[in-house]
Amino acid sequence: MRIARGLDELAELKQTVREGNDPEATGRQHARGKLTAHERIGLLLDEGSFHEVEPLRRHRATGFGMEARRPHGDGVVTGWGTVHGRTVFVYAHDFRVFGGSLGEAHAAKIHKLMDLAASAGAPLVSLNDGAGARIQEGVTALAGYGGIFVRNTRNSGMIPQISVMLGPCAGGAAYSPALTDFVFMVRGISQMFITGPGVVRAVTGMDVTQDDLGGADVHATTSGVAAFVHDDEETCLEDVRYLLSLLPANNRELPPRVPTDDPADRRTDRLLDLVPPDPRIPYDMRAVIREIVDDGDLLEVHEGWATNVICALARLDGHVVAIVANQPATMAGALDIHASEKAAGFVQTCDSFNIPLLTLVDVPGFLPGLDQEHGGIIRHGAKLLYAYCNATVPRVQLILRKSYGGAYIVMDSRSVGADLSFAWPINEIAVMGAEGAANVIFRREIEGADEPELMRAQKIKEYQNTLIHPYYAAERGLVDDVIDPRDSRSTLIQALAMLRTKHAEVPSRKHGNPPM
């Protein structure tokens, strides 16, 4: 009987921990349009797979009335479960308990979970909805954040780390998501900032709302902090599940392959109509990517930020591939500061997790301008160059139309280590476009001619025939083959299949020193 009573008490206690002992707090959470921690975990993980860790832990703080308020769990739910049958670790702030703020016990639970994830070699997802450091616990709470930051850094490149912002995240708390691989945000309920509207108003005199300062759309389009943004929690967590299906469990594994009915030898006839042969006419590179990848399906990262370059995860013949592509529909696809940063971070992340790189090139060069030069385009462009040069995964380049100047080199050319490079018959690879080159090389002849425009046209054609014809780079071994655009999918699949067993020796060093 004693055992039976004990089991009843345990079941009642765990139900109280799960549902909360304050129905009004749950009601307030729902009234804000937000789910509870356990509801969120239920959407993220496979049904019935969650195993909670330390649900009964309580804080030991005293003073400020804390000794009278010692709820179990201490404002964070931690544990593991599965996503599509694969192990995933998760912690979720419970805003109903101390506003999800972090104290000593709260932090200790997260530290333990992060260590378990590292030991098990499985992804870690954080569902963030907390009010920052618990003021009543002082510096102890701040030290708890330090422990999270050092584990984020230690686990970087070893296990995928995903941050899902489902509430406020202010001050030093914002640095943990910034240290992870991918950040998701939800419009209307997610905010991230170092100093809040009150501090901004006091220091600058500027009135700004939380959303205008650090809302989802701000970080998705302006700062580049958020990789994905959604309108509601349900679709957000569904996309987290999708992303996890494209990532390996850790850096020692390959991404999971899934069977596909899309034939590997499918001809991509539509590409002939999608890409205009005139290099000055824009088009949407997304349509090209959809035509090449399995079932036209891709997950674009940072879709709203630095839109002149596309970074996406997709599959070719069931195998995950990372795609970096210039976007001629925006700024003619030129590289600038933000595009370089965006692509560099994506290349580095995918290289960490053994995801092959496919680079689709249609680039007129780096964006010229005083703001770009003063903003450090040299330094930021070098980040992308460094990321590619440092990558050891299979790397395949496909040049669709133009590829000029330093941007040609930076977009994973053979000269910086691409394993294979292919080009379409309309490709133009050169230091610059024919018109600009002719104006420089033949300036005196053009200016001294009786008919300067006629002479300019002749010299442009001469330069094109000599240095920019489609086979110039192939004749010198800088392009492995010039292919029919309709064979793009099958060519890329065959190339990546051959490179699947690639092994690259890395230098013996503590770590590289990339441009920051």
Catalytic residue positions, numbered: 171-172, 406-407
Write the secondary structure of 107-172 as one string of H (helix), E (strand) and C (coil).
HHHHHHHHHHHHHHCCCEEEEECCCCECHHHCHHHHHHHHHHHHHHHHHCCCCCEEEEECCEEEHH
CA–CA gap between residue 318 and residue 293 (Å, rounded): 9
Which amino acid, residue 385? L
The encoded tokens of residue 34 equal 């937000």
Work out the burial of residue 286: count CB atoms within 10 Å of its CB; fewer than 13 is exposed, 13-18 middle, 19 or more buried.
middle
Contacts for 215-218 with beta carbons within 8 Å, 24 or more apart? Answer: 215/185, 215/187, 215/188, 215/190, 215/191, 216/165, 216/185, 216/186, 216/187, 216/188, 216/190, 217/187, 217/304
Q: List, in sequence order, the alpha helices (H) in 20-138.
A: 23-31, 37-44, 104-120
- For residues 377 and 328, is the Cβ–Cβ distance under 8 A? no
CA of residue 253 relative to chain centroid, distance: 19
Under 8 Å between Cβ of 106 and 59: yes
